[in-house]
A and B are shown apart, each in its own frame.
Chain A
Amino acid sequence: MPEVTLVDAINLALARALTDHPDVVVFGEDVGVNGGVFRATAGLQQRFGAQRVFDAPLSEALIGGLCVGMAAQGLKPVGEIQFMGFLYPCIDQLVNHASRLRNRTQGRLSCPMVLRTPHGAGIRAPEHHSEATEAMLAHIPGLRVVVPSAPERAYGLLLAAIRDPDPVVFLEPTRIYRAVKGDVEDTGEGLPLDIAFVIREGHDVTLISWGAMVKDTLEAADEVAAEGIDAEVIDLATLKPYDEQTILDSIAKTGRCVIVHEAARTGGFGAEIAALIAERGLLSLLAPVIRVTGYDTVIPLPRLERQYMPSVARIVAAVRKTCKFS
């Protein structure tokens, strides 16, 4: 089985979708001739033509709105926003239109679109290139929000997102675009969009994360294993709608939970998970839930971004703390 990077897996999934479905179109700033600033769409315009894979003008609200208009006509648009920090002009389209076209027409029109955008910090990028504002998106009824954490799941999740009959925002963890490799067979098989993945089984504590932080969370799990702590790691993968049952089942088993995300803490998606556990898993808990997150500051410019983001050491410390609690 070929070992590929996460960005290669994205490219493979896009190529597969373009091959399988004549209605799929892929566009965004620099996605055509240049193949995307991260090379996610490399070679696609050459293979599938400039009608299906094209450069959009520098207009993020347009990119979102084009998706809505195309999707209402039965195309399967896959738009790209170059960095998450440039997504905000497009939020109007996501909140007011994409997420509710089906509802406001009671099913007469629908919006089967995908909006891809890089997510997160850690690549020493300029200001506004390191955003992780997934919680904002996960608050929008009618959307799906997906964040893969490994090539093998990125491929299947993106294919499923493109095939889904509703709008999906697909956040691609920039820091691990090339930092992780995995076995990806180009089978054309999608993965379910409503399940979380237990990627390491354990009995002592549940670690929940998504996107690039899954890698650090797994490293933390390895580190505490040497101390005899048997950590279970859940890759949430789909934030909206998220898989409550897998979380609750794991908490029932371990009684302890650490949630890890790089976004700011207040109102972050970790708060939603902690609230779920408080509402429906409280009696299983042996220790308070701990969140290891970015701080409630503006994400700093690159010189301090590593201090902002949860490190393996911070995760390990939180795991030790919750496991000592009695």
Chain B
Amino acid sequence: MEENQKELPVIARFEVRRRAYLAPDGTILRDLPDFATDQNLVVAMYRGMALARAFDLKAVSLQRTGRLGTYATSLGQEAVAVGIASAMRPEDVLLPSYRDNAALLWRGVTMDDILLFWGGDERGSRWSGPVDDFPFCIPVGSQAPHAAGVAYAFKYRKQARAAVCILGDGATSKGDVWEAMNFAGVCRLPVLFLVNNNQWAISVPLRLQTASQTLAQKAIAAGFPGEQVDGNDVIAVRAAADEAIASARAGEGPRLIEAVTYRLGDHTTADDASRYRSTEEVQQRWKEEPIARLRNYLVSRMNWSKADEEKITTECEQKVTAAIEHYLATSPRLPETMFDHLYARLPSAYAGQRREIEDLNA
């Protein structure tokens, strides 16, 4: 610092805190939040993560055998999605990115709907689960302004609901994400921006996305709190999400949570991560993955047995298998139905085009 600058008064100071409860081996780092001693809940969270992983594995093999389109797994990041989704109420609204299957599953979207979407059929996003939730957002970060709009509607109608927008680390480089955060701060909107910082935006590492020390601090410029959590510690994600969502519902404005995790898999089935990162790096990160960590916690603190774990593994595999059978038996869409939800009522100008495709397939 220049000598003469030291004489200038400091007009603002900021700090960013990091939250973690479980070390990678499952040992406890600090006093746990109350919910962490509720065995039913913790087991349910374990099941949610295990189900997402079992689903991912099968989805990838479906893709490899030509029965599913390009697919993005959440391998290694299950704690982020389950931590946040388990903190939400049904009436809250989720605005997910394309890597958030585990959150959708927790909220009641069926596996066959998710498979239908990745299998190339829009009917997969017409789910009967959380009817106000947004579908997967593919253009990175472009759902952040929607989250602000949804939250504005909650505030306008004086509803105690929260909008939850899940973004990746790459999304924090986008202007529209900043625009949404900025507006959320101005209007103190009930919205939580959850940044799933998995270190990689396809092949671009975090250090090329930003010179910021954390992504959590991006909230500070928008005038609301940002916190970093260990994103492989589902207890930490859940605890931070509980506080953020409670704050939103209480009218105390937005929050940002940066969940630091690691993308153990390829970006999608169309990617080969070995082109841009080392096997050693990935192997190192496997030691921190969230499911083993929670299992260690359950074993050491809740007398969990191998049989308990195997029961869940079997249950998850059966559910996934049943969903896949259902998905593969889905009747094909008639081609002319591509016009059916273009507008509330198809304008007469396009009726001829609909007939054209109908005649071609008659």
Within 8 A of A (CB), among B312-362: 340-344, 347-350
Q: Is the C-beta of B144 less than 8 angstroms from some C-beta in chain A? A: yes
CA distance in complex: A51, B156 (Å): 7
Q: Is the C-beta of B239 less than 8 angstroms from some C-beta in chain A? A: no
A64 neighbours in B (Cβ, 8 Å): 145
Q: Is the C-beta of A110 less than 8 angstroms from some C-beta in chain B? A: yes
**Chain B residue at minimum C-beta to C-beta distance from A108:** B126
- Interface size of A by Cβ–Cβ distance < 8 Å? 43
Q: Is the C-beta of A69 less than 8 angstroms from some C-beta in chain B? A: yes
0/1 string, A91-114, CB within 8 A of B gives 1: 011001100001111111110000
**Chain A residue at minimum C-beta to C-beta distance from B159:** A73
- Taking the closest CB of chain B, its distance from the CB of A13, in whole angstroms, is 21
Cβ 8 A contact of A56, one of B123, B125, B183:
B183
Cβ 8 A contact of A70, one of B152, B176, B180:
B152
CA distance in complex: A70, B142 (Å): 15
In the complex the two chains form, is B145's CB within 8 Å of A68's CB?
A: yes
A102/B134 contact (C-beta < 8 A), A77-B149, A92-B139, A194-B349 known: no
- Taking the closest CB of chain B, its distance from the CB of A109, in whole angstroms, is 7
0/1 string, A21-34, CB within 8 A of B gives 1: 00001000000000
In the complex the two chains form, is A72's CB within 8 Å of B132's CB?
A: yes
In the complex the two chains form, is A65's CB within 8 Å of B142's CB?
A: yes
A61/B342 contact (C-beta < 8 A), A73-B132, A106-B125, A108-B127 known: no
In the complex the two chains form, is B344's CB within 8 Å of A72's CB?
A: no
Cβ 8 A contact of A69, one of B125, B127, B146, B344:
B146
In the complex the two chains form, is B145's CB within 8 Å of A69's CB?
A: yes
**Chain A residue at minimum C-beta to C-beta distance from B352:** A244
In the complex the two chains form, is B125's CB within 8 Å of A104's CB?
A: yes
Q: Is the C-beta of B186 less than 8 angstroms from some C-beta in chain A? A: yes
In the complex the two chains form, is B149's CB within 8 Å of A73's CB?
A: yes
Cβ 8 A contact of A72, one of B144, B150, B349:
B150
CA distance in complex: A73, B152 (Å): 10
In the complex the two chains form, is B344's CB within 8 Å of A59's CB?
A: no
Q: Is the C-beta of B179 less than 8 angstroms from some C-beta in chain A? A: yes
CA distance in complex: A194, B342 (Å): 15
In the complex the two chains form, is A73's CB within 8 Å of B349's CB?
A: no
Cβ 8 A contact of A57, one of B135, B182, B342:
B182
**Chain A residue at minimum C-beta to C-beta distance from B346:** A241
Cβ 8 A contact of B343, one of A59, A97, A106, A166:
A166
Q: Is the C-beta of A267 less than 8 angstroms from some C-beta in chain B? A: no
In the complex the two chains form, is A69's CB within 8 Å of B135's CB?
A: no
Q: Is the C-beta of A141 less than 8 angstroms from some C-beta in chain B? A: yes
A interface residues with partner B (beta carbon < 8 Å): 25, 51, 56-57, 59, 61-62, 64-75, 77, 89, 92-93, 96-97, 102-110, 141-142, 165-166, 194, 241-244
By Cβ-Cβ distance, the 4 closest A-B pairs, closest first, are: A69-B149, A65-B145, A73-B153, A69-B146
13 contacts between A and B (CB under 8 A): A56-B183, A59-B179, A62-B183, A65-B176, A69-B148, A73-B132, A77-B149, A92-B142, A102-B344, A105-B341, A108-B125, A241-B347, A242-B349
